[in-house]
Amino acid sequence: MTAKAVEVPSILTVRELAELIDASPIEVIKELMSNGIMASINQQIDYDTAALIIAEMGYEPAPVRLAEPEEDEDARVTAAWRRVYEKEAAKDLVSRPAIVAVLGHVDHGKTSLLDVIRHTNVQAGEYGGITQHIGAYQVQHNGQKITFLDTPGHEAFTAMRARGAQGADVAILVVAADDGIMPQTREAIAHAQAAKVPIIVAVNKIDLPSANLERVKQQLAEIGLVPDEWDGDTLVVPVSAKLQAGLEDLLEAIILVTDGMDITANPKAPASGTVLEGELDPRRGVLATLLVQNGTLKVGDVIVAGLACGKIRAMFDERGKRVKQAEPSTPVQVMGLDEVPVAGELFEKAENDRTARAIVQERLVAAEEAAAQPGPAFTLEDAFERFMAGETKELNLIIKSDVQGTLEPITKSLNDLKVSDLKVNILHAETGSITDSDVMLASASDAIILGFQVPVDPAAQRRADSEGVDIRTYNIIYKLIEDVEQALQGMLAPVYEDVRIGMAEVRQVFHIRRVGQVAGSYVRDGEIRRGAKARVVRNRQPLQGDSKISSLKRFEEDVREVRAGFECGIGLDNFNDFQEGDIIECYVTQRVT
270 interacts with ligand GDP by CB under 6 A: no
Answer for the pair 400, 433: CB distance below 8 angstroms, yes or no: yes
How many residues lie near ligand GDP (CB under 6 A)? 16
The least distance separating ligand GDP from the CB of residue 217, rounded to whole angstroms, comes to: 17
> Which one of the spans 66-74, 106-114, 253-261, 471-479 is the region binding ligand GDP (CB under 6 A)?
106-114
The least distance separating ligand GDP from the CB of residue 45, rounded to whole angstroms, comes to: 51
Q: Which is closer to ligand GDP, CB of 104 or CB of 569?
A: 104
Residue among 44, 112, 489, 574 that touches ligand GDP (CB under 6 A): 112
> Which one of the spans 235-243, 295-303, 328-336, 398-406 is the region binding ligand GDP (CB under 6 A)?
235-243
110 interacts with ligand GDP by CB under 6 A: yes
111 interacts with ligand GDP by CB under 6 A: yes
The least distance separating ligand GDP from the CB of residue 207, rounded to whole angstroms, comes to: 5
> Which one of the spans 83-91, 110-118, 213-221, 518-526 is the region binding ligand GDP (CB under 6 A)?
110-118
Q: Where are the beta strands (DSSP E) in 64-219?
A: 94-95, 98-104, 136-141, 144-149, 170-176, 199-204
Q: What's the CA gap between 541 and 534, in Å, rounded?
A: 14
Residues from 525 through 584 that contact ligand GDP (CB under 6 A): none
244 interacts with ligand GDP by CB under 6 A: no
The least distance separating ligand GDP from the CB of residue 476, rounded to whole angstroms, comes to: 39
| Helix, strand, coil distribution of the chain in percent, nearest 5 | 30, 35, 35
Q: What's the CA gap between 321 and 337, in Å, rounded?
A: 19
> Which one of the spans 99-107, 396-404, 441-449, 540-548 is the region binding ligand GDP (CB under 6 A)?
99-107
Q: Which is closer to ligand GDP, CB of 6 or CB of 253?
A: 253
The least distance separating ligand GDP from the CB of residue 131, rounded to whole angstroms, comes to: 17
Q: What's the CA gap between 8 and 548, in Å, rounded?
A: 19
240 interacts with ligand GDP by CB under 6 A: yes
In the sheet that holds 170-176, the strands lie side by side as 136-141, 144-149, 98-104, 170-176, 199-204, 236-238
The least distance separating ligand GDP from the CB of residue 455, rounded to whole angstroms, comes to: 26
Please list, in sequence order, all residues whose beta carbon lies within 8 angstroms of the beta carbon of residue 213, skipping any fewer than 6 positions away: 177, 203, 206, 238
155 interacts with ligand GDP by CB under 6 A: no
Residues from 312 through 351 that contact ligand GDP (CB under 6 A): none
Q: Which is closer to ligand GDP, CB of 158 or CB of 266?
A: 158
Answer for the pair 352, 335: CB distance below 8 angstroms, yes or no: no
- Pair type for strands 136-141 and 394-401: unpaired
152 interacts with ligand GDP by CB under 6 A: yes
The gap between the terminal CA atoms of the chain, to the nearest Å, is 37
Question: What distance lies between CA 545 and its chain's CA centroid?
Answer: 36
The least distance separating ligand GDP from the CB of residue 241, rounded to whole angstroms, comes to: 4
> Which one of the spans 100-108, 284-292, 431-439, 530-538 is the region binding ligand GDP (CB under 6 A)?
100-108
Q: Which is closer to ligand GDP, CB of 105 or CB of 217?
A: 105
Length of the chain: 593
How wide is the angle at C-alpha 193 spanned by C-alphas 153 and 318, nearest 5°?
40
107 interacts with ligand GDP by CB under 6 A: yes
Residues from 169 through 228 that contact ligand GDP (CB under 6 A): 204-205, 207-208
Q: Which is closer to ligand GDP, CB of 176 or CB of 469?
A: 176
The least distance separating ligand GDP from the CB of residue 262, rounded to whole angstroms, comes to: 30
Answer for the pair 524, 504: CB distance below 8 angstroms, yes or no: yes
CA-wise closest residue to 450 among 499, 483, 419, 412: 483
Q: What's the CA gap between 374 and 590, in Å, rounded?
A: 9
Q: What's the CA gap between 334 and 490, in Å, rounded?
A: 48
The least distance separating ligand GDP from the CB of residue 491, rounded to whole angstroms, comes to: 45
Q: What residues form DSSP beta bridges with 102?
A: 172
Q: What's the CA gap between 152 and 90, in Å, rounded?
A: 33
The least distance separating ligand GDP from the CB of residue 229, rounded to whole angstroms, comes to: 21
The least distance separating ligand GDP from the CB of residue 111, rounded to whole angstroms, comes to: 3
118 interacts with ligand GDP by CB under 6 A: no
Burial class (CB in 10 A: 0-12, 13-18, 19+), 242: middle
Residues from 68 through 97 that contact ligand GDP (CB under 6 A): none
Q: Which is closer to ligand GDP, CB of 179 or CB of 301?
A: 179
Residue among 41, 192, 199, 241 that touches ligand GDP (CB under 6 A): 241
Q: Which is closer to ligand GDP, CB of 221 or CB of 245?
A: 245
One-letter-per-residue 3-state SS of 104-144:
ECCCCCHHHHHHHHHHHHHHHCCCCCCCCCCCEEEEEECCE
CA distances to 135, 148, 167, 282 from 279, rounded to whole Å, are: 12, 20, 21, 10
Residue among 5, 64, 80, 106 that touches ligand GDP (CB under 6 A): 106
Q: Which is closer to ligand GDP, CB of 106 or CB of 280?
A: 106
The least distance separating ligand GDP from the CB of residue 243, rounded to whole angstroms, comes to: 7
* Neighbour tally for 540: CB within 10 Å: 6
> For 236, phi and psi rounded to 5 degrees?
-120, 120
Please list, in sequence order, all residues whose beta carbon lies within 8 angstroms of the beta carbon of residue 349, skipping any fewer than 6 positions away: 270, 271, 272, 295, 297, 301, 302, 303
The least distance separating ligand GDP from the CB of residue 242, rounded to whole angstroms, comes to: 3
Residues lying near ligand GDP in the complex (CB under 6 A): 104, 106-112, 152, 204-205, 207-208, 240-242
